[in-house]
Structure 1
Amino acid sequence: MFKPILAASVLALSLSACATAVPSVEVTRFHVASPPTSGTVSVREMIGNPDVSLEFRTYAAAVAQEFQRVGFTEARDAQGEYEALVGMRRSFRPTGPDRSGRPVSVGVGGSTGSYGSGLGLGIGINLSGKPKDVVTTELSVQLRRRADSQVVWEGRANTSAKEGTPAAQPNIAAAKLAAALIGGYPGESGRTITVK
């Protein structure tokens, strides 16, 4: 009796892990010949960022954390040697036609035979509703040297997930995008890669 319960528990855990899987991320980076690998960094919002909100803070915090992982130190006075300018954007794309307006279908069938006759009636109603939109989230980061405002490294990353899934939530998307973009810093300049 213990083994079936254990097997069911393991199956449930593996299914829940699949349910929270985050889709792959497409990443493109550009940098100068010898980008810095250490120094103090302050994180700010990119000028013209279309989404000025509390959600932006989630992305800024994820970027700051990833720069620390690759060797930089967060500037405590917001006046570091470098500044990371962060921009983010979310867009929604329909996945298909709205099926909620589909009419009710009715089917009728009958038969006769040596044991009697029968009549059947079937009604089909589409309860699936409108398909979920696909949410595309893009993160852009520029690392500038504060002394002369030169961009020494920049990149962008984007991912897509169905609306309402864990992968479409800002905190999960921010962490995934920042890790994919800044992980492996500085990365190969001018090449687009896919990070799982």
Structure 2
Amino acid sequence: MAGKVRRTKKKDDIFFNVFASTSSVERACELSGYSSSSVYRYKASDVEFSYKWEIAVKQTVSAVEGSLFDLAVNGDKDFKSLKYVDSEGKACHSLIPIKRRNPAAMQLFLKAHAPEKYNDRLVVAKLEPLANDDAEGLSDEDIQEELDRFDDLKRFELEREYPGITQIVDDYKNSFND
């Protein structure tokens, strides 16, 4: 049976550096010496570890967004084969570098960064408070339903602005219930 691995700042740094550059928990665990169950336990029980985890995820997302942007704007580098006959009648062959546009990358980028214009599935809900006379005829259940709807929409807006934030908040709240 293997001994328990001691957690250290150096191992944490290795874990987060690898995790941020690869987005692979498995690879980060392998190189830092942690087990995956240990890092998930650290994430659930240690606010600082959880925060660093979210930062590493955001760094990875940022790197992917940068690559997607480059692909959307500059296209994918490729080569076109050109066969021709030179002035002496000899058959020749050349490879010419070209850029292939990537419509899927362009569309994905636009949907992510301008969803109000390019995302056909986006549903924007307008939050309107109930007027006092509108609320008078509502039962306690109806009022609670309205409050829950409002809470869900605020969470949705928050999650859109800060992906992953609602999970962090929920984990933090749940840590007090355990």
Question: Greater relative contact order: 1 or 2 (C-alpha under 8 angstroms, separation 6 or more)?
Answer: 1
**Bigger fraction of residues in strand:** 1
Same fold (TM over 0.5): no
Going by fraction, where is helix more abundant, 1 or 2?
2
TM-score bracket for this pair, using the shorter chain length: under 0.3
State TM-score, norm by structure 2.
0.20
The TM-score normalised by the length of structure 1 is: 0.19
